[in-house]
Structure 1
Amino acid sequence: MERKVGTVSRGLRAPIIREGDDLKKIVIDVLLDAAETGEFEIKDKDILAVTEAVVARAQGNYASTAQIAEAVKAKLGGETIGVIFPILSRNRFAICLRGIAKGAKKIVLMLSYPSDEVGNHLVDIDLLDEKNINPYTDVLSQEQFEKLFGKSKHTFTGMDYVNYYKSLIEEEGAEAEIIFANNPKAILNYTKNVLTCDIHTRVRTKRILKNAGADIVLGLDDILTESVSGSGYNTKYGLLGSNKATESTVKLFPNDCSDFVKSIQSEVKEKTGKTIEVMVYGDGAFKDPVGKIWELADPVVSPGYTDGLEGTPNEVKIKYLADNDFADLSGDELKDAISAYIKNKDSNLGDSMVAQGTTPRRLTDLIGSLCDLTSGSGDKGTPIIYIQGYFDNFTK
């Protein structure tokens, strides 16, 4: 009988993961136990994905604000530090800011406006037009900003991040000054020692600041790249990708993810005879149309994946074929014609007309986004995702 179901994404429930747990064993046991219930059969080219949060937790990859402070002070001098372009997030940045402030005498916090890098708005962009403010050239003090626009309120949470961040800095014993600008060079009027906190634009920001004469330029990816007084660390991303763990600690992005996924793939092959693909995923790469927030606050969607997930989709647009090449066909004749076209398609369609309109993104970004949406960010209790049929097409 013809199969009627295409891609299926399942959230697999797992025990609560603690530091030191044998995560590889747990993940494989969860998969095999779920398959034994009869809901699905493990097949070649299935995808098993594990959220980065439980990988880092099992690794014990944590750091305290005191350890962050020690690293910041050692690398930036402990006097006046310009902290620029952070995202507006209690989960992602607030605890990091506490540690940074603890390692300095004064923080000049420069916020991008009207929104941060991932779309959290400080002010409606239409108000900038109304007040004749150019965010590309105008540098505003906190007093000027609030006189023009009032207190900032986050679209969904109602949080006033400007004053919240200022209070965090002051609570850690540092002086706080808030400015608003989008040109990285604006911070150099206040200090030559800069910690840039943007995620996806950090390489460009560092280059601009170094070329403009800054003395010290570091990013969050340069803080905690090695252990400080017993802290966790991430050799590639440092503090980027970290999350709040407690009021004084963060969980860092996990290390050694490539080794982790390959070892799972190997053991599943040994136990089942099937070659599945495995990945670690974090934030998905998608945008909220109401709040305009881009979800991706991690440096990458997937910090580790098996070789079969490399590359981009190679798909044809069925509706294009139906409306163009086979516009005169219908019913089984149309189905057979499209099936034959798909079976014989080029191995690399590139920018051919028949592929236009398919999603031109990396497989890991697409699949990681599907995983993030499936597992959610709350209490579903499914940190492991199992996807079947992702590499199928209309002919399978």
Structure 2
Amino acid sequence: MPTDDIVEITLDTVKDTVQDGDIVCVTEAVVARSQNRYVTVDELVQDLRCKLSVGEEGTLAVISPIVSRNRFVLVLSAIARAVRRGKVVVQLSVPYDEVGNQVMDEDFASSRFRLKKTLGSLLEVRGNTPQMNVLIREILAALKFQELGFTVTAIRKITGKGIADITLHDPQGRHLVVEVTFEDMPGTAEKVLRIASDSEADGALVAAVDLQTREIAIVDAAGLLEGTAKPHVYPYSDRLALYDARDVITLGEIGDRLFPHPITGIDYARMYAKAIEAEGAKCEILYTNNPLAVFNYGHIDGIVIGAVHERESLKNLFLSFGTKTPMLTVKDVGPGPWGVIGSNVSDLEAGILKLLPDNADDVCDTIKNRVEEATGKDIEVLIFGDGAYKDPDTGIYELADPYPSIGCSAGLRKASLRQGTKLKLLVETMFRQGRSREEIAKELATRPPSRDSLGTTPRRITGILATMADLAAGSADAGTPIVLIRNFPHKSQGA
């Protein structure tokens, strides 16, 4: 809790257990709370306005934030409140954010970017070539089907797959075939029904694309011939500018289509848009891996780089582009030393964030000295955040903090990288050479390290320890904010 003495709490927890050489790991969450490390959305609003020299009618761009309700939604609320009569343009990397959270379905993203690029190329070279218009109609129809929630699996003349002009799956997963025309819908309906029968499709559609009136009419083929269905007409004049942005997909152009996160079920782009609009600001969400695309959506008064690990490289990208726009990274927003990097929601309704600890190394040294004073044991202390591991099932890289280790005591600060020779490779090699178990053991005991040997990947010891602690603590949901690690070599000479 705020103002608790984390040094004495840690001592009371480990004093009856700790041994020489142990490493006591304390989660950053309890350290930060003991330091009363909180910031409000309103405080961040004032900080943003001051540092970016922006007023409430300005436009701010947010670059490559991670998608997380816990980690970023209140930061985004502060950004939006800072320009509550203006606009926020959010650039989201696709298909995943920098820590592996799904932002957009990967197949949809790659398909739509490919369709838009192909359409642009065809429009540039078509001239008076009728065959180009055939392809253009089919791509325009495919783009519209995507916006209506269908999944385009093939465009025969472009992908070389399928026996119909377009092959789809509808939102219910049914396999559909589509023939595209520009005038004869009944004749096309008869044709596509034959194709559907031959391919055992679940249904057949007709799409009539008029390049002059810029309209797309879509109808169920069987219903058209039976007189039970009428074409639904979709004007697309207002979509051409969106299609022309070949490396950008906007939230507005995909209609009601959702991209729920496979674990949380949240469509983070729509959640972010809702958070921005709740503060009164207008919102533009851009799905793109080109951060500079934000400049195509109006004058930008300030830039906030939302990425954690890529923040400096993204900042350098904008600087190399020659931008003079005021710019902050998430490390620059809010109090030091880390700004809002690694922050968590403390109270969503009240708009309060918990920050990372301050003076983390000093806290570790103080705990180390206090434990030695009380127990006589020589230990090391580490404050851990997110572990640096990637979940093989979800593909999520858990590290949303700047580093796994937020701070550590002096002995760990001096520790070298952990590296060594692959013993299993040496053992197998010597075994195949006919060496006995005893000979192999003797060789390993006396063999000096060699630069020619295959070695393990060098890793920072504090990163390994912090990751172990985070995995054991279970993100503190198991009520284990303090983890003790024993028999782990960490001194410089023994690493």
**Is the Cα contact below 8 Å between 2:249 and 2:286 reproduced in 1?**
yes
**Is the Cα contact below 8 Å between 2:113 and 2:247 reproduced in 1?**
no
| C-alpha distance in 2 between matches for 1:130 and 1:175 | 28
Residue type of the alignment partner of 2:266:
M
2:325 maps to 215
| C-alpha distance in 1 between matches for 2:333 and 2:110 | 38
| C-alpha distance in 1 between matches for 2:484 and 2:105 | 40
List structure 1 runs of 4+ shifted beyond 6 angstroms: 134-137
* SS state at 2:483 partner: strand
Kindly state the Cα deviation for residue 370 of structure 1 after the two structures are TM-superposed. Answer: 0.5
After superposition, the Cα gap between the structure-2 partners of 1:287 and 1:260, relative to the gap in structure 1 and judged at 3 Å, is: same
| C-alpha distance in 2 between matches for 1:308 and 1:20 | 27
Larger mean Cα displacement after TM superposition, 82-91 or 314-323:
314-323
Q: Deviations over 1:251-292 (max 9, x none)?
A: 001110111111122222223333212111100111112321
Write out aligned runs for 1:219-234 (5 A).
219-224=329-334, 233=335
Q: Deviations over 1:86-123 (max 9, x none)?
A: 11101100111111211113111111111111111122
2:405 maps to 302
| C-alpha distance in 2 between matches for 1:123 and 1:353 | 43
Q: Deviations over 1:174-221 (max 9, x none)?
A: 111111222221122231421110111111111221232242111111
2:347 maps to 246
| C-alpha distance in 2 between matches for 1:382 and 1:130 | 45
Kindly state the Cα deviation for residue 378 of structure 1 after the two structures are TM-superposed. Answer: 4.7
1:4 maps to none
| Aligned with 1:58 (options 30, 34, 39) | 34
1:80 maps to 59
After superposition, the Cα gap between the structure-2 partners of 1:296 and 1:333, relative to the gap in structure 1 and judged at 3 Å, is: same
* SS state at 2:441 partner: helix
2:453 maps to 353
Residue type of the alignment partner of 2:339:
G
1:102 maps to 81
Residue type of the alignment partner of 1:202:
R
1:28 maps to 11
| Aligned with 2:309 (options 177, 200, 207) | 200
Residue 311 (structure 1) aligned with residue 420 (structure 2): no
* SS state at 1:371 partner: helix
1:123 maps to 104
1:43 maps to 20
Residue type of the alignment partner of 2:341:
L
Residue type of the alignment partner of 2:458:
P
| C-alpha distance in 2 between matches for 1:121 and 1:364 | 29
Residue 154 (structure 1) aligned with residue 258 (structure 2): no
Kindly state the Cα deviation for residue 336 of structure 1 after the two structures are TM-superposed. Answer: 4.0
* SS state at 1:250 partner: strand
2:337 maps to 236
| C-alpha distance in 2 between matches for 1:137 and 1:130 | 12
More helix by share: 2
**Is the Cα contact below 8 Å between 1:194 and 1:214 reproduced in 2?**
no
| Aligned with 2:294 (options 180, 187, 209) | 187
* SS state at 1:21 partner: coil
After superposition, the Cα gap between the structure-2 partners of 1:245 and 1:73, relative to the gap in structure 1 and judged at 3 Å, is: same
2:47 maps to 71
2:185 maps to none
| Aligned with 1:164 (options 258, 271, 277) | 271
1:230 maps to none
| C-alpha distance in 1 between matches for 2:246 and 2:371 | 56
| Aligned with 1:370 (options 468, 480, 485) | 468
Residue type of the alignment partner of 1:99:
A
**Is the Cα contact below 8 Å between 2:384 and 2:404 reproduced in 1?**
yes
**TM score, norm. by length of structure 2:** 0.67
2:481 maps to 383
Aligned length: 351
The RMSD of aligned alpha carbons is 2.4
| C-alpha distance in 2 between matches for 1:62 and 1:382 | 22
| C-alpha distance in 1 between matches for 2:7 and 2:405 | 17
Q: What is the percentage of aligned positions where both structures have the same residue? A: 36
Q: Deviations over 1:369-395 (max 9, x none)?
A: 101000012531111110011118xx9
Residue type of the alignment partner of 1:158:
G
Residue type of the alignment partner of 1:223:
V
| C-alpha distance in 2 between matches for 1:117 and 1:64 | 26
**Is there any run of 5+ residues in structure 2 with no aligned partner, and where?**
118-244
* SS state at 2:289 partner: coil
Please say which structure displays the higher CA radius of gyration: 2
